[in-house]
Amino acid sequence: MTTLVLTITETLRYRGKLGQWAWALHRISGVGVLFFFILHVIDTSWSVFYPDLYAKAIAIYQSPIFTLGEFALVACVVYHGLNGFRIVIMDNRPNLWKYQDRAVMYVFLGTIILLVPTFILMFMHVVNHYNEPGVVFDLKIPELIESQLPFLIGIVAAFIGGLILSGVYSVVDRSTDKKALKRSKFDTFMWSYMRISGVLIIPLVFGHLAMVHIIQGVFDISKAGFTPVGTTVINQSGQAAEFVMHRWNTMFAGVMIWRVYDVLLLAFVAVHAFYGLHYIINDYVHNKVVRRGAHLAALVGCVILITVGGAALISTSPETTDKMLNQSDSTSMVVPANK
Ligand code: HEM
Ligand code: HEM
C-alpha cells in the first residue's frame, strides 16, 4: 500500500519525463478496461442464461453515466493498445531506445487522431438516441448502484477467499529455490505472451468496438426492426438477447463467425488482463500472504470469467432465440444455425 501511495505521489511530482506518464497511463487504462471486462463478460453471458437480466444490464449501459464511461473506456482501449504496441516494438528493437520520448509522443498523437472521429461518431449515436420519441434523460442512479453492487461484492469476496486460502497455505508452505526457478521460466514465457497477445488483441478489440460503437451504438442493441451489425437477420423482438443471438448464430462459410471471434477475444483478453493484474499485485503488495491471496483471487477470477463467457458462447442460443421470439408472438424468424 505504501508503494502504491509512493508511486502516485512520485508520478505527480516527477515532472518532465514522458515515459513515466506513459507507463502510469498504461497501467491505469489496463486496470480500468479490466474492470469493465469483468462486468461485460458476466452481463453478456446472461443473454443466454437470463435474457431478462441481460435486458436490464443493457438498459443500464444505455444510461447517461455509462455513456460517459463508454467514452472513457474507448479512450483507455485506444491508448493502452497503441502504447502496448510501442512497448512491443521497443522491446524488440533496442536500437530505437534513443527515440523513446518521440515514440511516446507518437502514441499520444495517434490516440488523439483515432479518438476525435471515433468520439464524433459515438456522440452522433447518443444524439440520435435522445432525439427518439419517448426517450428521457434519466441518470438511473439507484438502478446503477443496485446492479453494480453485486459485482463489487463479488470482487471483494474473491479477494477475501484468496486471503483465507493463502493464510491456510502459508501454514504448510514448503517453497524451495527450485520452485522459484521454475516460476521464473514461466514468467519469461508470460512476458512474451503479454506482448504477442497484446498485438493479437489490437485488431480483435478495435474491430469489436468499431462494430458496437461506430457502425452501431450500444443503443441499437435493444432496437426492434434493426439488423445487428455483421448479420443479415432483423432483431424482431427488440430484445437485447435477440441481438446477441443473431450475432452468435450468423454463419459465414460454414462458421459461426462472431462466436469464434468472441472466443478469441475472451481468451486472449482474459489471460492478458489478469496476468497484467499479477504484475501490478507484485509491484504494490509486499506481504507474502496477502500477495499470494491476491494472486489466487486473480487466477480464480480469470478461470471463472473464461468459464462463464465460454459457457455462454457454446450454449444452444438458437433455441433461446426461438423461445424468445415465440414469447413475443413472432413467426417469420430466420435462425440460420442448427436449422
Ligand atoms: C489492445 C491491445 C493491447 C495491447 C497491444 C496490450 C499490450 C500490453 C503490454 C505490452 C503490456 C505489458 C507491459 C509491461 O510489461 O510493461 C500490457 C499490460 C497490461 N495490459 Fe494490455 N494490451 C492490450 C489490451 C489490453 C486489454 C483489453 C486489457 C484489459 C482488459 C489489458 C490489460 C492490461 C493490464 C492490466 C496490464 C498490466 C499493466 C502494468 O503492468 O502496468 N490490456 N498490455
Ligand atoms: C461499451 C462497449 C462495448 C459494448 C457495447 C459491447 C457489446 C458487446 C455485445 C453486444 C456482445 C455480444 C456478442 C457480440 O455482439 O459479439 C459482446 C460480447 C463480448 N465482448 Fe463486448 N462490447 C463492448 C466492449 C468490449 C471490450 C472493451 C471488450 C474487451 C476488452 C469486449 C469483449 C467482449 C467479449 C470477450 C465478448 C464475449 C462475451 C461472452 O462470451 O460472454 N467488449 N460485446
Query: What does the pLDDT look like over 45-60, one tens digit per residue?
Result: 999 999 999 999 999 9
Which pLDDT value is given to residue 178?
Answer: 58
H or E stretch at 3: helix 2-13
In angstroms and rounded to an integer, the radius of gyration of the C-alpha atoms of the chain is 22
pTM: 0.90
- Look at residue 338 and tell me whether its pLDDT is greater than 90: no
- Look at residue 198 and tell me whether its pLDDT is greater than 80: yes
Three-class DSSP category at 216: coil
Instruction: Report the number of secondary-structure helices (H) and strands (E) in the chain.
Output: 11, 2
Instruction: Yes or no: say if 339 and 73 are a contact pair by the CB < 8 Å rule.
Output: no
Give the Cα separation of 181 and 175 in Å (integer): 11
40 CB under 6 A from ligand 2? yes
| CA of residue 281 to ligand 1 center, whole Å | 14
Residue 255's DSSP bridge partners are 252
- Look at residue 297 and tell me whether its pLDDT is greater than 70: yes
Distances (CA, A) of 20 to 6, 99, 111, 212, 214: 14, 15, 17, 33, 32
pLDDT in tens, 90-134: 999 999 989 999 999 999 999 999 999 999 999 999 999 999 988
Which pLDDT value is given to residue 336?
Answer: 40
Give the Cα separation of 167 and 155 in Å (integer): 18
pLDDT-derived band at 316 (thresholds 50, 70, 90) equals confident
Give the Cα separation of 230 and 245 in Å (integer): 12
pLDDT-derived band at 136 (thresholds 50, 70, 90) equals confident
Q: Nearest C-alpha to atom 39 of ligand 1 is from which residue?
A: 27
- Look at residue 337 and tell me whether its pLDDT is greater than 50: no
- Look at residue 324 and tell me whether its pLDDT is greater than 90: no
Query: Which ligand minimizes its atom distance to the CA of 298?
Result: 1
Give the Cα separation of 277 and 163 in Å (integer): 16
pLDDT in tens, 199-232: 999 999 999 999 999 999 999 999 999 999 999 9
- Over range 136-164, report the average pLDDT: 92
Query: Which ligand minimizes its atom distance to the CA of 198?
Result: 1
312 CB under 6 A from ligand 2? yes
87 CB under 6 A from ligand 1? yes
Q: Which string of b and e fits 250-288 if b means at least 16 CB within 10 Å? A: beeeeebbbbebbbebbebbbbbbbbbbbebbeebbeee
CA 311 to chain centre: 17
pLDDT-derived band at 332 (thresholds 50, 70, 90) equals very low
Q: Name the least confident of 6-20, 67-81, 253-267, 289-303.
A: 6-20
Residues 6+ apart with CB under 8 A from 89: 96, 103
Which pLDDT value is given to residue 109?
Answer: 98
pLDDT-derived band at 335 (thresholds 50, 70, 90) equals very low
pLDDT in tens, 156-185: 999 999 999 998 888 876 665 555 556 688
**Mutation probe of ligand 2 site: the residue of 212, 256, 266, 268 with most atoms within 8 A of C-beta:** 212
- Over range 127-152, report the average pLDDT: 91
- Over range 76-103, report the average pLDDT: 95
Give the Cα separation of 279 and 99 in Å (integer): 26
Task: Decide which of 192 and 331 is more confident.
Answer: 192
> What average pLDDT does the chain have?
89
Instruction: Yes or no: say if 282 and 187 are a contact pair by the CB < 8 Å rule.
Output: no
The CB-based long-range contact list for 187-195 (8 Å cut-off, 24+ gap) reads 190/275, 193/271, 193/272, 193/275, 194/272, 194/275, 194/276, 195/87, 195/88, 195/91
Instruction: Yes or no: say if 160 and 294 are a contact pair by the CB < 8 Å rule.
Output: no
pLDDT-derived band at 139 (thresholds 50, 70, 90) equals confident
Share of the chain above pLDDT 70, in %: 86
279 CB under 6 A from ligand 1? yes
Task: Decide the pairing of beta strands 251-252 and 255-256.
Answer: antiparallel
- Over range 273-279, report the average pLDDT: 97
